[in-house]
Amino acid sequence: MAAETPEEQEWLDHRVDSWVETYKKSMLTPVALSLVATHQPAEISTIAEAVTAATGWQITERGLYRTIKRLQDSGLLVSAAVDAPRTGAKRKLLSLTPLGASYLSEIRGHLVEVPRG
């Protein structure tokens, strides 16, 4: 059912945007862990691109770095510094730890998908 007045549409748009932002914040952890698991060892830039490709979300680099740092501090991800080809500059490659793999498995076991009907 569509909103009937501009005020109702504005209210609806605000509520949906608010819900999406809350959803993105809570789902970024399992999405990031899933993408690291798929691409590991993975650079943060690869994960950022994969998040956008998989979800359509526009996330800030800062927000992703905070999430990655939190996951590392929690022991779910580990990073290794390696030399970049041609330049020799250091870059971080992310991988799941065994704890991270278990955590991701447990989260996946609790996700609910409701069929569209």
Q: Is residue 88 part of a domain?
A: yes
Tens of pLDDT, residues 71-114: 999 999 999 988 877 777 788 899 999 999 999 999 988 888 88
Neighbour-count burial for 61-85, b at 16+ CB within 10 Å, e otherwise: eeebeebbeebbeeebbbbeeeeee
The CATH number assigned to the domain holding 71 equals: 1.10.10.10
Q: Is residue 22 part of a domain?
A: no
Q: Is residue 63 part of a domain?
A: yes
Tally of domains within the chain: 1
Q: Which domain holds residue 100?
A: 29-108
| Mean pLDDT, residues 2-8 taken together | 83
Q: What is the pTM of this model?
A: 0.78
pLDDT at 104: 94
Q: What percent of the chain has pLDDT over 70?
A: 97
Q: Is residue 18 part of a domain?
A: no
